[in-house]
Amino acid sequence: MKAQTIITAALICAMAVVCGCKGGKAAQDVAQEDKQTNTMKRIEVAKVSFDTAMPTIDQVEEMFERENVEFHAIDVVNWEAYPYKPEVKFRIVHSDDEIYLQYVVKEDNPRAMFDVDEGSQPYTDSCVEFFMIPSDRDTIYYNLEMNCVGHGTFHGGAERRDRTVFGDDVLSQVRRRSTLGDKAFGQAEGPQEWTLTLAIPKSIYALSEFAPFEGRTVKANFYKCGDKTPVPHFLSWNPIPIEKPNFHRPDHFGEIHFAE
């Protein structure tokens, strides 16, 4: 009986070495990695209505609170070299004509070097991003990137390298407001919390042809980054199980379903 127990214990240990470790990591870590690799998250985007087709940001913020719209965390640390994890959450709804998006961020030492859209590089600042493939007929994805004072860029294309850069004539249609104001302040010190609220006309997704959003599921991902902040970081809503930081991976987008 003693010999059998020893053999059984040895077999269990051997199985733990083979199955429970991967690159020196614990079995729990591997299970989490596998879960992230195989997960496609999904959000139900509620439909709302206003008395006007273009509500003010005040009205949008009031709607988010009145309807108690659910938040979703941007909390996936995809790359071990960038472990910093500020607290980030977002919520999203839509109307006949627009998408409404709100981010709430708690981070240390936010950075804002840009206070105009044209020529900005929001991803180098404290930045939040929304990537989406709106069409049910093509693979063009769009990336809307905004720094913590509400200035940024909007690009579209099927590939990362060949993208249309939209100018102020389009970006000016995106109404937005940050609780940090709209002026660049350089590098702040200490922990801060900020909220960015956006009203995005569906019409700006102009490179694509698609049916109305209502009742459709599209691919999307949401990000928080800061390439030149004191502690660079790259967080996502849906996991991106690749070797190096790269948000331009529509093959790892999650799903958002627009309610009718």
State residue 160's pLDDT score.
95
Among residues 230, 192, 233, 180, which one has the least CA distance to residue 106?
192
C-alpha–C-alpha distance, residues 134 and 209, integer Å: 9
Please give the Cα distance from 63 to 197 (Å, whole number).
11
Residue 20: count other Cβ atoms within 10 Å of its Cβ. Answer: 15
pLDDT at residue number 39? 76
CA distance 45 to 39: 19
Residues 168 and 84: beta-carbon distance below 8 Å: no
150: CB partners within 8 A, 6+ apart:
176, 177, 178, 182, 196
Q: What is the DSSP letter of 141?
A: E
The pLDDT assigned to 134 comes to: 98
pLDDT at residue 24 in the model: 35
Q: How many CA atoms lie within 13 A of 122 on its CB side?
A: 24
Q: Do residues 246 and 212 touch, judged by C-beta distance below 8 A?
A: no
Please identify every stretch of the chain with a pLDDT value under 50, giving residue numbers as ranges. 1-37
Q: Which domains does the chain have, with CATH numbers?
A: 1-38 (no CATH), 43-258 (2.60.40.1190)
pLDDT at position 35 is 42
